[in-house]
């Protein structure tokens, strides 16, 4: 094995999948691309890392709600493009041809073209670490989409798409909650 600079260690465990986070500040919808998310249990509890350097952060602080929209691998260029411009001066839904869909529990919209969407309420801000803790309120999946692969950021400008699935549900049954 070769030594990897410690400053690049995160590229070995960069979380996934890439998530498009939608917000609505009461006047306009916005989208930001986030690659630092985490599932916190078998419950609908999640966390993400972001802060005031992102335009959407003010809306997250103010409204305490958002949508996690999970793009398929076929949307990689749109997901990267969304992350490369600011909602301060760009209507990202229009620019990237994404369709906002009214959510049931939050003002932020779902994204029609995505594999799945999770309506979320923010339950905590861990300011010291720029972590936002969220609770899922409703979830939606589009099993009819042709491309079901998710994309994962490596952290260095490269991405990996899901490939073959390995089913070990029976082997892990004792650890998986009933109904999952």
**Residue-range domains of the chain with CATH:** 16-175 (2.30.110.10)
Q: pLDDT class for 156, splitting at 50, 70, 90?
A: confident
Q: pLDDT class for 15, splitting at 50, 70, 90?
A: low
| Integer CA distances (angstroms), 167 to 17, 119, 130, 151, 179, in order | 19, 28, 35, 20, 16
The residues with which 163 forms a beta bridge, in sequence order, are none
Residue 180 has a pLDDT of 77
Mean pLDDT across the chain, nearest whole number?
Answer: 93
Concatenated DSSP letters of 117-157: EEEEEEEEEEGGGTEEEEEEEEEEE-TT-S---BEEE-SSS
The yes-or-no verdict on residue 176 having pLDDT over 90 is no
Tens of pLDDT, residue by residue over 25-71, are 999 999 999 999 999 988 899 999 999 999 999 999 999 999 999 99
The yes-or-no verdict on residue 106 having pLDDT over 70 is yes
Residue 88 has a pLDDT of 96
Q: What is the mean pLDDT of residues 132-160?
A: 93
């Amino acid at each position: 094995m070769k030594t990897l600079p410690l400053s690049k260690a995160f590229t070995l465990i960069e979380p996934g999948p890439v998530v498009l986070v939608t917000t609505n500040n009461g006047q306009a919808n916005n989208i930001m691309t986030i690659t630092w998310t985490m599932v916190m249990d078998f419950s609908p509890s999640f966390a993400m890392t972001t802060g005031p350097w992102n335009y959407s952060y003010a809306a997250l602080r103010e409204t305490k709600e958002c949508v996690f929209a999970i793009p398929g691998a076929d949307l990689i260029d749109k997901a990267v493009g969304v992350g490369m411009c600011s909602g301060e001066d760009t209507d990202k839904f229009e620019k990237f041809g994404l369709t906002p869909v009214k959510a049931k529990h939050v003002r932020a919209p779902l994204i029609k073209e995505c594999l799945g969407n999770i309506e979320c309420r923010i339950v905590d801000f861990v300011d010291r670490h720029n972590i936002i803790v969220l609770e899922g309120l409703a979830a939606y999946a589009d099993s009819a989409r042709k491309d079901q692969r998710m994309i994962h950021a490596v952290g260095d400008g490269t991405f990996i798409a899901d490939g073959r699935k390995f089913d070990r549900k029976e082997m892990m049954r004792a650890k998986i909650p009933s109904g999952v």
